[in-house]
């Protein structure tokens, strides 16, 4: 059964909307949200430390590393500055993602096949520190092959096209094929982006799927029912399969 990782970026987004310049008494606290998610059964916490620090801050990552009891999955772009922080903090996992300062959220997968020379030393440095490396990619043959060439531990399949498709069955077939190719290449498989309480169930059929990383939908639901209940409801969907 796949595990649930909860992305807490959107908790920090709410905080930063009010307290970007004045950190005193800042709320809500993404670390508190992470701890509540763990208590409700999340098996990991994901946070994206962006170069522009638009939501998660350096202090958040350090506090998460100290306080959570499951695992920390740090999303990051291919930046030397953020890489140095990752090598210092030593999260359990690092998921390398594309990063565009103009985007609202990550809009697509990392183009590994065109960035082999850039990514290879980054992957190697992370793995040398004992950090598992995941690559957030679109479901395509070239990207799977590149991830295997880079000796990543995981691919995280970008499910955004599936989540927003008018023909989700076609996109689901693409994801199924990509997951099987990844497994055949010796890669472990995670998935995420745009998943919610309506479309997650079908994704659970992906070959080799180990973890779903879900953020916006859970945090949105938490506004109504609280973080613990929102996590329990998503876990129920996963555990029903």
With a cut of 70, say whether residue 37 has pLDDT above it: yes
Residues 6 or more apart whose CB falls under 8 angstroms from that of 203 comprise: 159, 162, 172, 175, 191, 195, 209, 212
Question: How would residue 163 be classed by pLDDT, with cut points 50, 70 and 90?
Answer: very high
Q: Which residues contact 40 (CB under 8 A, 6 or more apart)?
A: 227, 228, 229, 231, 232, 235
Q: Could you please report the per-residue DSSP string of 97-115? A: ----TT-SS--S---GGG-
Instruction: Please compute the mean of the pLDDT values over residues 207-226 and round it to a whole number.
Output: 98
List the domain boundaries for the chain: 3-239
CATH fourth-level superfamily of 3-239 = Aldolase class I (3.20.20.70)
Per the CB < 8 A criterion, the answer to whether 4 and 238 are in contact is yes
44-58, pLDDT tens digit by residue?
A: 999 999 999 999 999
List residues with catalytic annotation: 48, 75, 193
Cα dihedral sign, 67-2-122-53: negative
Per residue in 122-135, pLDDT (tens digit) is 999 999 999 999 99
Mind listing the pLDDT tens digit for each residue in 102-113?
A: 544 556 789 999
What is the mean pLDDT of the segment spanning 212-219? Answer: 98
pTM value is 0.95
């Amino acid at each position: 059964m796949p595990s649930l990782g909860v992305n807490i970026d959107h908790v920090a987004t709410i905080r930063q909307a009010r307290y970007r310049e004045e950190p005193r008494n800042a709320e809500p606290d993404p670390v508190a949200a992470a701890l509540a998610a763990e208590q409700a059964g999340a098996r990991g916490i994901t946070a994206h430390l962006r170069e522009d620090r638009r939501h998660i801050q350096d202090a958040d990552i350090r506090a998460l590393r100290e306080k959570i009891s499951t695992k920390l999955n740090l999303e990051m772009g291919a930046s030397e500055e953020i890489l140095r922080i990752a090598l210092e903090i030593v999260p359990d996992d690092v998921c390398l993602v594309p990063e565009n300062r103009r985007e609202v959220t990550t809009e697509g997968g990392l183009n590994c096949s065109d960035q082999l020379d850039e990514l290879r030393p980054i992957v190697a440095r992370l793995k040398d520190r004992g950090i598992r490396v995941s690559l957030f990619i679109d479901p395509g043959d070239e990207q799977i092959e590149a991830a295997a060439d880079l000796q990543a531990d995981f691919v995280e399949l970008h499910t955004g096209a599936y989540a927003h498709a008018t023909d989700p069955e076609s996109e689901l077939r693409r994801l199924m094929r990509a997951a099987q190719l990844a497994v055949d290449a010796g890669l472990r498989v995670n998935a995420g982006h745009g998943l919610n309480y309506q479309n997650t169930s079908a994704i659970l059929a992906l070959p080799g799927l180990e973890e779903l990383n879900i953020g916006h939908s859970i945090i949105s639901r938490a506004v109504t029912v609280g973080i613990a209940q929102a996590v329990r409801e998503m876990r129920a969907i996963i555990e029903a399969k």
